[in-house]
Amino acid sequence: MATEDKNRATAAAILPLVGGAANVSSIAHCMTRLRLGLHDRSLVDDEALKAVPAVMGVVEDDTYQIVLGPGTVARVTPEFEQLVEEGRAAAPEPGEAAPSVSAEELAAQGAAMKAARKAKNATPFKLFLRRIANIFVPLIPALIGCGIIAGLNGLLVNLGWLTSVTPALAAMASGFMALIAVFVGYNTAKEFGGTPILGGAVAAIIVFPGVANIEAFGQKLSPGQGGVLGALGAAVLAVYVEKWCRRWVPEALDVLVTPTLTVLVSGLVTIFGLMYVAGEISTAIGTFADWLLSNGGAGAGFVLGGLFLPLVMLGLHQALIPIHTTLIEQQGYTVLLPILAMAGAGQVGAAAAVYFRLPRNESIRRTIKSALPAGLLGVGEPLIYGVSLPLGRPFITACVGGAFGGGFIGLFNQLGDKVGSTAIGPSGWALFPLLDGNHGLGTTAAIYAGGLLVGYFAGFLATYFFGFSKDLLTEFNVSQDPAESTVAATGGPTTPDAPAKEPAGV
């Protein structure tokens, strides 16, 4: 089957299982997930969705999220959007068929359920973090591509190969980072309801070379000062200025006055205030990250690696995206991401232990076998939502594995061997092409590989010995075959003359 046909088939399989085109209110995607806004959550068939071959799992948050994995999601989403548009075009007009009362009641019930879930998750802080994520997530593909080119260029420079090509590779790798503030400004204005190009125009001031001739707070400004944080603040300000102008400027003058005042007012505030303030904050973030790992070392890595999975579950990991981006902009790499990636290593180790602890549960073992390759490459959702989180304890022991892996890398940071990533997004083995540090690629890769191994083994051992209670083992270590389930549950065949054996426990 051609790739296009395969992606369209996946989209076609998903659409009816989420209630059809009429039930879809919004469509978006991130690195691994198709994110859908749904009118009626009760129309979704979760189990049938999980059975679709390309679907690795489902997650419910403020949107309904279908895990498809990196690469696949970017190809399936356009096909899904097209099918939704076709479905809406073919749907009858609202007045053509009157829904039955029972259908209306069902829809109302589904809407109430959705509203209750959204109200539970839609705290102002989480909504703010989601907005921040929506600004930076679209930039990840460019960060990855440019980061890999930068790593390749560094390798060629160190080897002294292709000296006529390396300057061109350096330009490719650095061009996006030189203008990243503009893209952040554009996305920020779009996310906060303003005109995207005006947000980009104001943010462009930050990277304009001419700002070097301007003095603010008694100091000369430098191009790029304030970075992505300054661009974000400048674009938010531009949105508020623009909205004020739309409200008060006469329509006849709007097309001339509104964009002019938006750029002028927010531009002046950016130059004579935001650039300096955001620059100080950015510098403080870099200094704190260096200080934390230089002094906290293994302890800091242990805490960061151990807490990252819970942060992901709560949606709070999104707050780290601008921090990663700021560090990459300042230092060329983020030292936090390799440590946080150890959470995925702990998850892989925990899943492997679950596989061995539940030899009779074919269903869970099949899930682990199918999801483990993705987990090794840093796509952890199938293992989290399909294995460790439903079981409970293995999720905690997976965090323990991540903590030990993070502590290992943190220790080497304290010893002076920095391990960083030139981009955000990938994890696991997929992070190797993006690694960078202060002691050469070989040393950096070796330390990162060591952290992965520590995370694997710690997650495995913690889960194997402490991840199951007797009750949990009795409940889940059973065969899908009814005849074998009795054997699995009792530890042996039950006969009138032989009492059932107690189940094995930890």
Active site residues: 30
Write the Ramachandran bin of 369: left for phi over 0, alpha for psi from -120 to 50, otherwise beta: alpha
437, β-bridge pairs: 419
Cα 455 from Cα 404, distance rounded (Å) = 6
Cα 193 from Cα 459, distance rounded (Å) = 44
Cα 490 from Cα 354, distance rounded (Å) = 20
Helix axes 440-466, 342-357, angle to 10 degrees: 40
First to last CA, the chain: 47
Contact 183, 172 (CB under 8 A): no
What residue has token string 């030189």?
Answer: 178
Residues 6+ away with beta carbon under 8 Å from 369: 355
What residue has token string 């391990």?
Answer: 419
Contact 411, 304 (CB under 8 A): no
CA 230 to centroid of chain Cα atoms: 23
Rg, the chain, Cα only: 26
